[in-house]
Structure 1
Amino acid sequence: MLIHALVIVLITTIAVVAFRRLYPRPYLGIPYNVASANRISGDIPNLIPIIQETKEFSQSIFTVTTRNLRSPIAQLLFPGIRKPLIILEDPREIEDILVRRNKEFDKAPMAIDLLSPMFPKGSISQYTTPELRFQKRVWTDVMNTEFLQKAVAPNIYKATLELLALWRLKGTTIHKDQPFNVLEDLKNAALDAIWVAVVGDEPGITRYEIEKVKRQLSSNHGHKSDEILPRGAFIKAEVIYVTEAIARNSNTPVPKWAQKLETYTSRYRKFRSTVTDEITKAMKSAVDRFQRIETGGLDTTDIDTCMMDLVLRRQIVEAKKAARQPSNPVEDQNMLDEMFVMLVAGHDSTANALAWFIRFMEAYPSVQSQLRSTLVDAFPGPHPPSAKDILGTDIPYLDGVCDESMRLSGTTKANLRQALVDTEILGYKIPKGAEIFMNYHINSSGIPIHELKHSKSSQFASAKRGDGFEGRAGVDLHLFDPERWLVKDEDTGKEKYNAYALPQLAFGGGYRGCSGRKLATMEFRIIVVLLIMSLDFVELPEEFKTWRAIEKVFRQPETPYAKIRVI
C-alpha cells in the first residue's frame, strides 16, 4: 500500500510540474501582464480580438503590451512551450540596435521561419554568415547611385508616365468626378518598374490596363475570349501569392510549420516554377549576349541594362580572366531568390507607401499646394522634368515630404531581431536567444525615458546630432508635417533638409537594413514629382477618409481611394 501511495504521489507531482510548465515563463525584470502569466494561453486571448477588430497584427501587439503597461519595453507572453517575445517601442534604442549593435543582434528565427520557405537562398532569409556577406557584396553595386540613375531611373520614369496616362483616362471618363481605388494601379506601375529594373524585360501591365479601359469605352467593348494577357500578369499572380501566403501563415498559432507545409502544396510548386522559368529566360538572353563580347568589352558598365546584367557580366568577366567556364547562372539559387526578393519587396512596399502618400495629400491640401508650388518653381518648363532633373535638383521641401510619407505611413510596421549574447536594452537584462519585436512606425511621442537608460552608443549619437524628439521635429507626430525635416542654414539663411531630424526606420538600418533603400527612395521621389505636377488630389467623400489600415506583409490603407483633377 505504501508503494502504491508513493507511486500516486509521484505521478501527481509529475503531472502538476508538467502542467505548470505549460504556463508562460516571463523573463526576469521586464514588464509583462501579470494576469496573462497566470493562464496557459498567456496574452493570446487579449491579442486575437484586437487583431480581428483592427486588421493590424503589429499594432495589436503593441496595444496589448507596451501601450497597456505604459512601458517602452515589455513582454508578449505565450504558453510555456514558447519563450516570450520582447516588445520594444523606443525609436532611438531601435535605431541604435539596428545601426550600431550588429554584434549583439541579428535576424530573428521567427522572421527566418516565415521568409525562408519562399526565398530559401535570399539574403532576407539568412543569418549573418560569411556566405551571406559574400552574397551581399555581389549585389552591392546594383545599388550604386550612378548605376541606378543610368539604368533604372529611366524605366521608373516610363512606368510613371504610363500610370499617369491611365489615370488621366480614368479621371476623365469612367471615374469622372468619382473616387476610385488607386492601390492596384500603383502596384501594377511599381511592378512594371521593378521587373524591368531587375531583369530588363517590360511586363506591360499598365499598358494592358490602358487598352482595357479604351476597349470598355469603345462601341464594341468587352472582354475577348482569345485576349492574350501580358507576361506581367503571370508574374503579378505569383507576387500576390507570396505576400498572401506569408500574411496568412504568420497569423496561425504555429507560423513556422504553417509556412513549411505551404511548400508541399501544388500552388507553391507553381510559384517556384513560374518565377524560375521567367527569370531563367532573361538570364539566358543576357548570358548569350555577354559571351559573344570579348573580355575587354565586358569591362564597361555601358552595356548593363538592368541589375541582372551587371551581376552576370561581372561573373562572366571574372571567369574569362581566370580562363575558366563561368558557372551556369540558371542553377544559381542565390541569384534567383535574391532577384525575386527585390521584386516582391520592391513593388509591394513602394505601392503601399504611395497609396498612403496620396491619402496624405488629400487630407493635407495646404501641403499638397505648397509641394506643387515648390516643384513648379524648381521645374518651370512647359514639359515634365526628366528623371535626371528630378534626382539631381536640390529641393528640401520635397525631401521633407518624402521622408514624412515614409515615417507616417508605417508601411513596414515592425521587425524582429535576436540577441546573440546576453545584453541590455534600456537597462533591462536581455538573455542570449531572446527575440525582440521592434516598432518601426514613429507616429506618436512614446513614453518618456531617462537619458541614462539609453545605451552608451545611443547617448553618444544624441549628443553629437541632437535628440529630434525634444525639438521641433518631435512635435505632433500623428500629423503630416514635412517641415519637421527642415532647418535653417546658418550661412545662407535658407531652409535645408535634415536627414537626422528623427530616426529613419522605414527601411530598417545597418548591415541588415533594406538593401533596396536607394532604389525605393529614388522611385518614390520620381513618382511623387510626376504625380503632383500632373494631378490634383481633391477632397474625398467622408466614407473614404478613414485612417484604418490592413497589415499583411506591408501595411496598406483600408480605403486606398483618390479623387483626381487633371492639371
Structure 2
Amino acid sequence: MDLGNNTQFAAIKHYGASIPVILWHSVTSVGFTTLKLPTGTGLLVGALLLLYLAYWAIIPKPLASIPYNKSSAWSPLGDFPQMVEYILKKKELFSWMGSLTEKYNSPIIQVFVHPFAKPWVVVTDPFETQDLLLRRSKDIDRSLFIGELLSGLTSEQHIQFRSDDIRFKRNRNLVNHLMVPSFINRVSGPEAYRCVNLLIQLWKAKCERAQGRPFSAIHDLSHSALDAIAGSLLGLTESESSTWTQLEAIHQAPLSKGNVDSKNVEDPINFPDAPIPSFLKSIITLTDSLMITQLSPFPKTTYAIVKMFPFLKNAIATKEAYITSKINESLTLMTSKEDPNQGDMTGSLPQNAIHSVLLRERQLAAKEGRQPNYHSRAITDEFVGFLIAGHDTTAVAMAWGVKYLSDHPSVQDRLRSELQAAMPAAFAQKRAPTYDEIVALQQSRHKCCEYLDAVIEEVLRLGNVIDFLLRETLRDTQILGRWIPKGTQLFLVANGPGYVRPSVEVEDAARSPGARKEGSESGKKKLSGRWDDGDLGEFKPERWLKINPETGSEEFDPLAGPTLAFGLGPRGCYGKRLGMMALRIHFVMIVWWFKLGRCPEELGGYEGLQKFAREPRRCFVRLEDAMGR
C-alpha cells in the first residue's frame, strides 16, 4: 500500500514549501551584486527558485492522517492520470472513488484532482455519512461543485443552491406542492400509469414477434419514464408520446429477414426505432450530455465547449421553445372564464405541474405585491431539472430492475404471486390492475407492498443508480476523527465498503458522537442497521424485511441497512415520493404481465455507464406472457 506515514509526509511537504522562500529571501536581501554572481548565473538561480516555488505551489497538499496515493502527492497532476485511465476503461468516475476506499482499507481517503485546490475527501462509512447528512447541517451543505456539473443546463434550479440561499427557498416554495400525495395521486400517478400501459402494449407486441428471443430494453424504459414525467409536468397528448411512436412503428414495419430466419433463440432481435417527438429527443440529448461533464474534472469549462456543437445548441433551443409554449398554454387556461357546470374557475384546478406552478407564482406575486414572472429562468430550469432527473433515474432503476429479476426468477415469481393474491379480481379476469387498485394496495400497506418495496430498494442498492452524494464543508470540522478544513469537497459514496462490499472496520470512538452505536438510537433521526458482510454482493430483497413480533408477518424495514438512493436529511431527494410511485407502477405492471427470462451471458453483466445516473451497459429482456393467455 503506497501510503507512507501520512502525518509525517504532510508535515514534510508543508515545511518543505518554505525552504525556497527562505533561500529566496536570503538571496534578495544580500543581493546578487554582494554575492558577486555573474548576471546570467544570478538570473538562472532566480529562475530555478521561481520554478521550485511554482512546483511547491501546484503539487497537492495532503490532509493529515487521511490515506492517499503517495506518488500522486508529488505530481502536479495528482491522481488525475489514474482517474482518466479508470474512466476510459470503465466509463465511470464515482466507482473509482469507492474502489480506492477498498484498496486502502479505509473508510475515508483523499484524492488529488484539481491543481491549486484542496483534496477531494471520499467517505464510505455508512454511519458517519448518515450522521453528517441527518445531524450536521451546520458543518456541511450542498456543494457548489454541483452547480458546475449542472450549470450548463439548469443554472437556476434549486438542487444546486445552498440551503441558506434565497433562491433555494424561493424555488422550493414554488414547487413543493408538486410532491404532496394529493397532487401525485390526482395528476402525476394516473399519467405514469397511462404511460406504463403504453410500454406494456409495446412489449406485448415485441414479445409476440420475438418468439422467446431477447431484445434491447433500455430505450423502451427510457421513453416510458420520459413520457410519464413529461406528461405529469407539462401535459402531453398521446401523439406526443415517444412510446406511442415506437408502438406504431412495431405494428407497421416488417422485421428484417435476418432476424426472422435466425434459428438461434439466443440471438437478440432488433426492432426498428421510430423517430420520437423533437422535444423529448432534446431532453434525452441533454441528459446524455451530462455524461461528458460528470466524467470531467473541469465540468463547467467542458460544457462551455460542448455547447458550441450544433447538436446541443439545437437541443437547448428546442426545449426552450417547447416549455415556453406550454407555459403560454397554461396562461391561456388560467384566464379562461368561469365554467357554470363546475362552479369554479376552469383555470384554477391544476391540470398538470406547470399549470400548478404558474398558479402558485400568481398567488405568491399577489402576496408579495409584485407582478408575476411566469417566464422566469427559475421556472423553466425547475422543469428541465425535473425532466432530466425524473426520467433518467426511473428509467435506469427499471433497467437494473429487469436485469436483476431476469437473473433471479424466484424473486419475480414470489412478487408476481403476491400481487396476484392481492388483486384477485384483476387476475381472475386476466386484465391489468387499475391505477386505483394499485394505489389502494399501497394505502392499506397490503403485505405484497412490503416485498415490492424490498425488491425496489435492493435494486437501487446494488444498481447504484445514484452512487454518491456531494457536499462541501461550511467550516473546519472533524470526520472520522480527521480534521477537514472549510471548503473541502466531500464525496459520500454508496458503492464501496458497508454498502455493496464488506465493511471496513472502524473504531466506534473515531466516529462522531451521533454516528456511534450508543448514540444511534437516540433522538428522532435513528441510524440504519448494518448489512451482513457475507452476502452484500448478492441480490437479496429479503434483507429489507423483518418479522413483526406482534403479528408474526414480514414488514419492509427502510432502516434495515444503509442506502443513499434518495439521499438523507434536509437535502434529501426532493422527488422521492414521485420516483417511488413511478417505480412501483412499473414493477407491478411489468411483473404482472411478463415472465422475465435469463438472457445470454454476452447480453448480461452488471457493468455500469456514468451519465446523469449510472445505467447498465447492456439491458436486454426475454419476455414470456405471464397471464397464460
TM-score, with length taken from structure 1? 0.91
Choose which of 526, 529, 551 in structure 1 pairs with 2:588: 529
Residue of structure 2 aligned with 1:305, choices 335, 347, 351: 351
- Residue 150 of structure 2 is matched in structure 1 by 115
Question: How far, CA to CA, are the matches of 2:547 and 2:398 in structure 1?
Answer: 28
Worse overlay, 392-401 or 253-262: 253-262
| Of 75, 81, 84, the match for 1:39 | 75
Match of 1:189 among 224, 244, 250: 224
1:24 corresponds to which residue? 60
Is 2:543 aligned against 1:484? Answer: yes
Contact 1:418 1:433 in 2 (8 A): yes
| Match of residue 16 from structure 2 | none
CA deviation string 1:492-527 (max 9, x = no partner)? 111111111123311222222221111010000011
Within 5 A, what are the aligned runs for 1:221-370? Answer: 233-252=277-296, 254-293=298-337, 303-318=349-364, 326-330=371-375, 332-370=376-414
Match of 1:223 in 2: none
Aligned-pair CA distance for 1:549? 1.5
Q: What are the Cα deviations for residues 401-441 of structure 1, in whole angstroms up to 9, with x where unaligned?
A: 11111111101122311101101111111100010112133
1:463 match: secondary structure: coil
2:507 alignment partner, one of 450, 467, 472: 450
My pick for the range that moved more, 450-459 or 340-349, is: 450-459
Paired residue type of 1:261: I
Moved more, 162-171 or 489-498: 489-498
2:372 is aligned with what amino acid? Answer: S
1:214 corresponds in structure 2 to: 251
- Describe the shift of the 1:544–1:461 C-alpha distance in structure 2 as closer, same or farther (beyond 3 A): farther
Counterpart residue identity of residue 513, structure 2 = K
Matches within 5 A, 1:156-167: 156-167=192-203
**Using a 3 Å threshold, how does the CA distance of structure 1 residues 79 and 130 change in structure 2: closer, same or farther?**
closer
Post-superposition shift, 1:237? 2.3
Distance 1:343 1:254 in 2: 24
Mean Cα displacement is larger for which, 536-545 or 78-87? Answer: 78-87
Moved more, 188-197 or 482-491: 482-491
Runs of 5+ consecutive residues of structure 2 not aligned to the other structure: 1-32, 257-273
Instruction: State the distance in 2 between where 1:238 and 1:95 align.
Output: 37
Identity %: 28
Given candidates 18, 33, 49, the residue that maps to 1:13 is 49
Contact 1:539 1:563 in 2 (8 A): yes
Residue 132 of structure 1, CA deviation:
0.9
Query: Which range is displaced more, 153-162 or 301-310?
Result: 301-310
Q: Deviations over 1:155-195 (max 9, x none)?
A: 1111111101101101111x221111101000011111000
| 1:49 and 2:85 matched | yes
Aligned to 1:77: 112
- What 5-or-longer segments of structure 1 have no aligned partner? 220-228
Q: Which of 171, 176, 191 is the equivalent residue of 1:135?
A: 171
Partner residue, 2:456:
402
Matching residue of 2:487: 433
Distance in 2, matches of 1:517 and 1:314, equals: 21
Deviation at 1:100? 2.2
Q: SS at 2:530's partner residue? A: helix
Shift of 1:125: 2.9
Structure 1: distance between partners of 2:562 and 2:78: 33
Per-residue deviation at 1:485? 1.2
The residue type equivalent to 2:575 in the other structure is: G
Higher-Rg structure is 2
Shift of 1:207: 1.1
Q: 1:70 to 1:300 in 2, by over 3 A?
A: farther
Contact 1:291 1:316 in 2 (8 A): no
Counterpart code for 1:277? A
User: Could you tell me how far 1:294 is from its partner in structure 2?
Assistant: 6.0
- Look up the SS of the partner of 1:292 in the other structure: coil
**Deviation of 1:7 (Å):** 4.6
Q: Secondary structure at the match of 1:217?
A: coil
2:428 maps to 1:384: no
Contact 2:149 2:300 survives alignment (8 Å) = yes
Q: Which residue of 1 aligns with 2:21?
A: none
Matched residue pairs, number? 551
Aligned equivalents of 1:14, 1:242: Cα separation in 2 = 45
Partner of 1:468: 529
Tell me which residue corresponds to 1:547.
606
What whole-Å deviation, never above 9, does each CA across 1:315-358 have from its counterpart, x for those lacking one? Answer: 33455688x7852412x110100011000110011101101000
The one-letter code matched in structure 1 to 2:410 is S
Q: Give the stretch that moved more between structures: 455-464 or 38-47.
A: 455-464
Query: Cα offset for 1:539?
Result: 1.6
Q: CA deviation at 1:29?
A: 2.1
What's the offset of the Cα at 1:256? 2.5
Secondary structure of 1:515's aligned partner: coil
1:298 Cα deviation (Å)?
Answer: 6.6
CA RMSD of aligned residues (A): 2.5
Give 1:16 deviation, angstroms.
1.4
2:136 paired residue among 101, 125, 143: 101
Deviation larger for 114-123 or 74-83 = 74-83
Report the alpha carbon displacement of residue 35 of structure 1 after superposing the two structures with TM: 1.9
CA contact (8 A) 2:389 2:612 kept: no
1:448-498 per-residue CA deviation (whole Å, 9 max, x = no partner) reads 21222222222366234575216x6x6512111111111111211111111
SS at match of 2:520: helix
